[in-house]
Amino acid sequence: MSEADSAAAAGPGGLPATDTKRFLEALRGTVEERKAEGGNLAVLLIECGVISRIDAVWGYEIGDAVRNRVIASLRADVLRPGDLVGEMGRDDFACLLATVEAPGVALLAAKKTLRALNTPFWVGEDEIFANPAIGIAMYPAHGDQAETLLQRAKGACALARELPDRIADHAEDRENPAASKLLYENRLRTAVAEDALELVFQPQYDLRLGQVMGAESLLRWRDPGLGMVAVEEAFAAAESAGMFTELVSSILNRALRNVSEFRYSAGLDLRIGVKLPARALLHTELPEVVQRALGTWSRRAGLLILEIGETSVLAAEPVARETLVRLKELGVKLSIDDPGVALSSLFWLASMPFQEIKIDVSSVRDLAGVPKSDRILQSIIELAHHLRLDVVAVGVVDDAAAGRLKELRCDYMQADYKGPALDPKGFVERFGFNEG
């Protein structure tokens, strides 16, 4: 970009966009004018979403040139005399629409902004698209203070990133995803620090011997303010908070502690399953975390089953496959727990060091009465055995289905009809010494 281009991009007189402090001062002044004279104003918070990446690839000088292009586009195609653009961050811009007759005017300005910024930026011979998101806050409908309006426009922008049209306005009854994410992260950090997470245990039966041989530990996170939090939300919060390893360590240690107590207090020498999302395998320290937990509770590695979901990650991430190999070398048993796994995936999963696969049979209500379903299930079990995988059936509905699974040489089962998942005390009372 030439000096002339840079000057033009900087706006009339070559002046740069207003910085955050001066933008807030101008916004405060305009709010006071609207209070005195009446009328509306609007704040648009625009997240450009590309400049930081340009900095990393081509350098800050090129990033600055693109920023100037963004500002020039806003001034030429969106803003009117009396409106203002401010730089809120490397990728964030704020526009003050000093007077708007109705919310529709702000929405029109947001759509113009998308059209202006969705045209490609050329960096050498490379075509770069910004893919912006825009949040809108209106005075007086969404607030009567400058800071409040800017904050609410930012919150709406976070929501806009998840919407197809990439535009959102502030709404009191709409959840701010950024605030929600931060809340979950902080609550989870406290729960892990205070050892407040709970596990319940679903028994696993050996169909060949007809007795309980293990249990799957199921995470339960009850938060006083959030209520019962889904397991997926817990792992997502841990990932975004940078404490994924801490959460996994907490779950492993609690599970191994409980299964050790089952052994010493109730005579139950069980294997224990812990389900992890496949992205856990992207954390190369996972084998060390597992090894430490096994050592802490003096448990044999072969009695710990790591059940891996979302196995499609393994195809694209070599580091995940390497972590699997290291876990297998520890002696830990590895189980595929992915209801969505495709038959075609078994070709490459066969090369992975798994020793077990879980299959959901809940949709087959009458195994003996539906011959085609019976044959399909028999084929799956035989295929798994050819791949040297034990088979755990989940969602078994009754004793008749369990009996047919045994005839088909299925190895293990989990079954809600045998009773719900239990907390450690309830598990010992139900299965200790003499199974009821």
Query: What pLDDT tens digit does each residue of the chain (436 aa) get?
Result: 333 333 333 333 334 567 888 999 999 999 999 999 989 999 999 998 788 888 888 888 988 888 888 999 999 999 999 999 999 988 999 999 999 988 889 999 999 999 888 877 777 777 777 789 999 999 999 999 999 999 899 988 988 888 888 999 987 555 556 666 777 888 888 888 888 889 999 999 999 888 899 999 999 988 887 788 888 888 988 988 899 999 999 999 999 999 999 988 888 889 999 999 988 999 999 999 999 999 999 999 999 999 998 887 787 788 988 999 999 999 999 999 887 776 667 777 778 899 999 999 887 766 666 677 888 889 999 999 998 999 999 989 889 889 999 999 999 999 988 888 999 999 988 888 654 4
Could you check whether 3-174 and 181-431 share the same CATH topology? no
Query: Are the C-beta atoms of residues 17 and 86 closer than 8 Å to each other?
Result: yes
CA distance 299 to 91: 50
For the chain, the structural domain boundaries read 3-174, 181-431
CATH superfamily entry for domain 3-174: Reverse transcriptase/Diguanylate cyclase domain (3.30.70.270)
Q: What is the CATH number of domain 181-431?
A: 3.20.20.450
pTM of the model: 0.62
Lookup result for tokens 């003996």:
368
The Cα diameter of the chain in Å comes to 87
Task: Give ∠ CA 188-192-193 in degrees, rounded to 5.
Answer: 115
Lookup result for tokens 């084929």:
379
Q: How far is CA 308 from the centre of its chain?
A: 16
Phi, psi of 205 (to 5 degrees): -105, 140
Other C-beta atoms closer than 10 Å to the C-beta of 239 total 17
CA distance 80 to 76: 8
Residue 285 confidence (pLDDT): 95
